[in-house]
C-alpha cells in the first residue's frame, strides 16, 4: 500500500515539476526522501534504537521519569518488544487529579518538555550553522 501511495505522490510531484518555477522545489526528490523515511520507520528495530536514544537524552535528569526499554534481542522488523513498567499511567492522574502530587507531576512534565525543546533547538542549531 505504501508503494502505491508513493507512486501516486511521485506522479503528482513530477507533474507539478513541469510547471514553470516549480522545478526548484525538487518535489520528486522530496517524495523519494519521504519514502525512504517511511520505510525506515516500518522497521521496528529502528524504533528500538530511537527509544534508546530518547532514554539516553533524558538520563541526565534527576527526576523519577522512566520509559519502557526496548528488548532489542527479541525485537524484529515487525515486532517491538519492550520491558514492562510497573507504574500508574499519567492518564490516571490527569483524569482523577494528582492531589498532593500535582506540583511534582507538573515539575516533572515541565522538565521533560523543556529537555525536549532544548534538544530540538540544539539539533536545529547543528543543522543550520552559519545562518
Please give the pLDDT value at position 124. 64
Please give the pLDDT value at position 63. 65
Q: Enumerate the domain spans of the chain.
A: 2-42, 43-85, 88-131
Please give the pLDDT value at position 80. 94
pTM of the full predicted structure? Answer: 0.58
Helix intervals (H) in the chain: 2-17, 27-42, 44-58, 90-96, 102-127
> Residue 55's closest CA among 103, 101, 115, 110?
115
pLDDT along the chain (131 residues), means of 10: 92 93 90 90 88 80 76 93 86 78 81 75 61 47
Please give the pLDDT value at position 125. 62
Please give the pLDDT value at position 131. 47
Amino acid at each position: 500500500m505504501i508503494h502505491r501511495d508513493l507512486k501516486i505522490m511521485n506522479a503528482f510531484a513530477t507533474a507539478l515539476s513541469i510547471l514553470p518555477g516549480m522545478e526548484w522545489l525538487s518535489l520528486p526528490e522530496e517524495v523519494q526522501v519521504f519514502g525512504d523515511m517511511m520505510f525506515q520507520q516500518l522497521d521496528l528495530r529502528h524504533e528500538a534504537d530511537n527509544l534508546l536514544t530518547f532514554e539516553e537524552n533524558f538520563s541526565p535528569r534527576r527526576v523519577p521519569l522512566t520509559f519502557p526499554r526496548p528488548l532489542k534481542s527479541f525485537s524484529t522488523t515487525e515486532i517491538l518488544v519492550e520491558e514492562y513498567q510497573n507504574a500508574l499511567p499519567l492518564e490516571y492522574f490527569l483524569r482523577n487529579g494528582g492531589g498532593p502530587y500535582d506540583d511534582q507531576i507538573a515539575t516533572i512534565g515541565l522538565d521533560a518538555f523543556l529537555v525536549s525543546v532544548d534538544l530540538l533547538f540544539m539539533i536545529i542549531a547543528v543543522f543550520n550553522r552559519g545562518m
